Amino acid sequence: MKSPTRMPLVVANWKMNPTTSEEATRLFSAISASLKKTKATVVVAPPAIFLGALKQGMRKAPKHIALGAQNVHPLESGPHTGQLSVRMLYASGASYCIVGHSECRALGESDALVNAKVHALLKSRMTPILCVGELERDQSGKYYAVVETQVRASLHDVKKKDIEKVVIAYEPIWAISSGDGKGRTATPEDAHEMRLFIVKILTDLYGRTMAERVQILYGGSVNETNAEGIFTQSGVNGFLVGGAS
Ligand code: PGA
């Protein structure tokens, strides 16, 4: 198994938590203080409305901590009620942005829209964290095709020179804590086989050298108990963490 060569990346997806700016600031300060010596890049993705407040806290944060957004609109401006553009998020301190999260796909986000978001982010030098993952694992292995379609369609027209700027997060929906409520977690083998499969798709699209430069994360009920096993046994480059973050 090829071990990751880059610094691991851990993305904390706070989803719609906490409820106040004060709490978000407190949590962020506690995280930055406790991660001073961590050998990983840590991206905190709070609700966008708290980004500005956390940007202030970034001044005291170690260099390996960054801010991320949880979603973005692909256009720069216009009549798009409730939406935020790449530029707005960047100005608020975000340098990463999650796209294609299953909770957004469940509200109707298509691969084409995810693809437009990936392009908009790359254009502005923000790092897209592209989420892919199947709803269910079936005996006949159809879930591979689900993930392949998502990867190919979401990366449509992304150029070879840009692919290493994209982070891919494999998040099987059945293992996400908000998923089907059955509380299942993926095994290190599940994450390993899908990581290899995604590298194979990227190799088809961009060649092996570039494919191996893409950081692939695992997400879905990651916590302090299972993280080490998944990390060391699956070869993923890090995690996208929801509830436990
Ligand atoms: P979870 O969420 O860690 O709570 O399962 C992961 C995610 O939805 O990104």
pLDDT of 54 over the 60 cut: yes
For residue 31, report the phi and psi dihedrals to the nearest 5 degrees.
-65, -50
pLDDT score, position 3: 44
Nearest CA to ligand 1 atom 7: 242
Contact 245, 39 (CB under 8 A): no
Contact 82, 47 (CB under 8 A): no
Contact 133, 106 (CB under 8 A): no
Identify which has the larger pLDDT, 242 or 184. Answer: 242
Q: Is the CB of 221 under 6 A from ligand 1?
A: yes
Q: What is the pTM of this model?
A: 0.95
Average pLDDT over residues 211-219: 97
Q: Which helix (H) or strand (E) holds 203?
A: helix 188-206
Q: How far apart are CA 80 and CA 213, in angstroms?
A: 35
pLDDT in tens, 119-140: 999 999 899 999 999 999 988 9
Residues identified as active-site: 101, 171
Residue 1's pLDDT band (boundaries 50, 70, 90)? very low
pLDDT of 5 over the 90 cut: no
Q: How confident is the prediction for the chain on average, in pLDDT?
A: 94
pLDDT in tens, 158-189: 999 999 999 999 999 999 988 776 778 899 99
Q: Is the CB of 201 under 6 A from ligand 1?
A: no
Q: What contacts 76, CB < 8 A, 6 or more positions away?
A: 85, 86, 87
Q: Is the CB of 18 under 6 A from ligand 1?
A: no
